Amino acid sequence: MTAISLTVNARSVDADVEPRTHLADFLRDGLNLTGTHLGCEHGVCGACTLLLDDMPARSCITYAAACDGARVTTIEGLDEDDIAIELREAFTREHALQCGYCTPGMLISARDLVLRLPGADERQIRVGLSGNLCRCTGYVGIVRAVRSVIAQRRQRGVMPVPGAGRTELGPVGSGNAAKTPSAGVQNAVSKVAAKPQDAGAIVIPDVVPAQVVTHQFTVAFPPDRVFQMFGDVAGVAACLPGVTLTGTPTPERAEGIITVRLGPIAARFQGAARIERDLAGLSGRITGIGRDQRSRSATQGEIRYQLVAVDHGAATRVDLSIGYSLTGVLAQLARPGLVRDLAARLTADFARNLERRLAGVAPDDPAATAHALNGAALLIDLLHARARDFLRRIFKT
Ligand code: FES
Ligand code: FES
């Protein structure tokens, strides 16, 4: 017997297994997770597909003993997963199952496609599902169902996740789960224990940003005070130029509008953000998505912050990492250099507003407050600064 410790549907499992036991038998017979079906047991039909370290894998040709340290997600672990919920509804609507034998494996492969594919291309879907055999439906309903979910999500501004959030190279189930927690599905299965989302609420996926910029600033207040302030969602939003909250935020979630003006284009991104905080590490992460109907642009991004004590704890350095992806018309205007400069200016405004708020001082300059962001002015300032630099370089002053 071989002793293994692994995570199955976000639960820690320790077991002794025969070296010859495959993962599907271990799950079905040992853990009573019979949603994983067995068809050919030769790695051909795809009925036994599950997620191993967030990647689709055949459990009939994977030894359980080889999964020590791995993260396993079966169809039962996707009960509360946003994409799986949408797929199940679409499968029902489009008559994408009859006997249902292939369906668990089919849903897991389909979920991976929904996460990754930027568009709803039928050929890509058929190729992506070619490792899952169905003997009842003729595939037409299945393809239609997957296609409709991809189309609906993209229409709502939910971006594809490059590589489905995979962070590892190497064979599936190589046992790296413990080293790289929290990619894609980890987040999905953790929702089993979390509160279900409100019907109709904006779904916030994990983000793999295309661009990342880093900034830091220092405020003359101790880290615990600054961390407390960062927990006041409405207060932080009031310090962010261009941000207006819609509805009442909770400590974990906020919905709102970000207004940005770039030259002739004004964008009004409506979206939502998920807030995570780590008191022990004095750090946090805000993940958000937004969509602007008028400019047909969409964005998703994350802000990570880390508070560092300076001046013997009398002051705090705030290290910010801002990652974002932008698509649509604005993406054509927002070259990385320009966005970097804008991010620097916005961060400076945020720092100033934050310091004022911490000091209990009302902003005396309305233009410095969140709701009076003048993006055009920022842009003009930037262009002036760049022109000054250019002239300085020419005349070597
Ligand atoms: S049962 Fe695993 S691929 Fe057929
Ligand atoms: S629904 Fe019967 S095998 Fe696919």
Find, among 294, 295, 367, 278, the residue nearest to 329 by Cα: 295
| Index of the ligand 1 atom closest to the CA of residue 40 | 4
Least confident of 93-107, 235-249, 274-288: 235-249
294-319 pLDDT, tens digit each? 666 777 788 888 999 999 999 999 98
Q: Which ligand is nearest to the CA of 44?
A: 1
Average pLDDT over residues 118-134: 90
Q: In ligand 1, which atom is closest to the CA atom of 133?
A: 4
Nearest ligand, CA 22: 1
Q: Would you state the pLDDT for residue 265?
A: 58
CB atoms within 10 A of CB 91: 23
User: What are the phi and psi torsion angles at 270 (to 5°)?
Assistant: -100, 130
- pLDDT at position 293 is 72
- Full-model pTM: 0.49
- Check residue 136 and give its pLDDT: 93
pLDDT, mean over the chain: 79
Please state, in angstroms and rounded to a whole number, the distance separating the CA atoms of residues 135 and 22.
24
The model's pLDDT over 87-113, given as tens digits with 9 standing for 90+, comes to 999 999 999 999 999 999 999 999 999
Judge if the beta carbon of residue 51 lies within 6 A of ligand 2. Answer: no
* pLDDT mean over 20-45: 94
What is the per-residue pLDDT for 192? Answer: 36
CA of 36 to the centre of ligand 2 (A): 14
C-alpha of residue 20 to centroid of ligand 2, in Å: 29
The pLDDT assigned to 369 comes to: 43
Structure tokens at 33: 């997770």
Please indicate whether residue 28, judged by its CB atom, sits closer than 6 Å to ligand 1: no
pLDDT of residue 94: 96
pLDDT at 248: 84
Q: How many angstroms separate the CA atoms of 317 and 226, rounded? A: 10
pLDDT band for position 349 (50/70/90)?
confident
List the structure tokens of 307. Answer: 């508070």
Q: How far is the CA of 88 from the centre of ligand 2 (A)?
A: 14
Res 91: pLDDT:
97
| C-alpha 170 – ligand 2 centre gap (Å) | 31
Contact between residue 348 and residue 320 where contact means Cβ atoms under 8 Å apart: no
- Residue 224: CB within 6 Å of ligand 1? no
Q: What is the mean pLDDT of residues 363-376?
A: 44
The least confident of 3-7, 105-109, 250-254 is 250-254
